[in-house]
């Protein structure tokens, strides 16, 4: 165990209210690409005339629903993905009473699949879908089991994934829960995120506790205020930590 991970273990051992704030880098070791790295979604040649960012915007969803769902099914849904060592470690630390909440920018549901109970999903989840007209709820199969634009079995309305698209606001209840969790934490572990996407990234400023730990492969805007910065794959860090 290297010195950084030893220090992380010491911080966790002395903490009683840890909140984990995570981004796309948490799930890359589960085979889900991130957005902004060299191999990320935004840097892929998709053979299209619009960017991935445009294709997951509210405007594109409304104006080009067929193309939106084609892209969405192809690039944002990973049914076979499994939790990695980071997801599993956080779930175990929750069971031990150390981790009190997870605040995630991811939409893959892997924290819950690993067993975590208190998860604030800032950008929603691909696992939930709803009819825009009558509000009927549908699971992932409503999107993956159909072609084209999915429609409601009850009223025929368009079924929308419960994810926050570009140009859409975050859910106020989720924001309130995340802010409360972060503001009450004694340790904040930030992992797998560049802290570029706002307003989500701004939530870490509500932290008033003792320790901030940054685990990310590249530099972030919060590095200078962190007690510990680890530049290693986050799954490997937590796998070593939990040995």
Read off the pLDDT of residues 60-114 as tens digits, 9 standing for 90 and up.
999 999 999 999 999 999 999 999 999 999 999 999 999 999 999 999 999 999 9
Active-site residue (options: 87, 111, 123, 211): 123
**Strands 211-215 and 187-191, how do they pair?**
parallel
Could you report the per-residue pLDDT of 19-42, keeping only the tens digit for each? 999 999 999 999 998 764 444 454
Q: Where are the domains of the chain?
A: 1-32+83-123+169-243
Q: CATH code for 1-32+83-123+169-243?
A: 3.40.50.1220
CA distances from 204 to 67, 124, 179, 182 (A): 35, 19, 8, 7
Q: What is the pLDDT of residue 239?
A: 97
Q: How many CB atoms lie within 10 A of CB 103?
A: 27
Tell me, yes or no, if 123 is annotated catalytic.
yes
Burial of 176 per CB tally in 10 Å (0-12, 13-18, 19+): exposed
Longest dimension (CA), the chain: 59
Could you report the per-residue pLDDT of 149-203, keeping only the tens digit for each? 999 999 999 999 999 999 999 999 999 999 999 999 999 999 999 898 888 889 9
Q: What is the pLDDT of residue 48?
A: 57
What distance in Å separates the CA atoms of residue 103 and residue 63, rounded to the nearest whole number?
A: 31
């Amino acid at each position: 165990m290297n010195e950084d991970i030893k220090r992380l273990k010491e911080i966790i051992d002395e903490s009683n209210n840890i909140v984990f704030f995570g981004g796309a880098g948490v799930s890359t070791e589960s085979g889900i690409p991130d957005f902004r790295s060299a191999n990320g979604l935004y840097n892929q040649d998709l053979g299209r005339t619009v960017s991935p960012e445009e294709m997951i915007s509210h405007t594109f969803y409304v104006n080009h629903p067929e193309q939106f769902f084609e892209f969405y099914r192809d690039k944002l849904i990973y049914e076979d993905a499994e939790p990695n060592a980071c997801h599993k470690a956080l779930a175990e630390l929750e069971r031990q009473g150390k981790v009190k909440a997870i605040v995630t920018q991811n939409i893959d549901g892997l924290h819950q699949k690993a067993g975590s109970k208190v998860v604030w999903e800032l950008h929603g989840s691909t696992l939930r879908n709803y009819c825009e007209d009558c509000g009927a709820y549908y699971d992932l199969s409503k999107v993956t089991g159909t072609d084209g634009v999915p429609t409601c079995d009850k009223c025929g309305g368009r079924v929308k994934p419960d994810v926050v698209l570009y140009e859409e606001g975050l859910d106020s209840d989720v924001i309130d829960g995340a802010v409360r969790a972060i503001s009450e934490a004694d340790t904040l572990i930030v992992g797998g995120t560049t802290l570029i996407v706002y307003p989500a990234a701004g939530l870490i400023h509500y932290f008033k506790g003792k320790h901030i730990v940054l685990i990310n492969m590249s530099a972030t805007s919060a590095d200078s205020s962190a007690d510990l910065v680890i530049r290693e794959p986050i799954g490997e860090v937590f796998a070593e930590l939990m040995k």
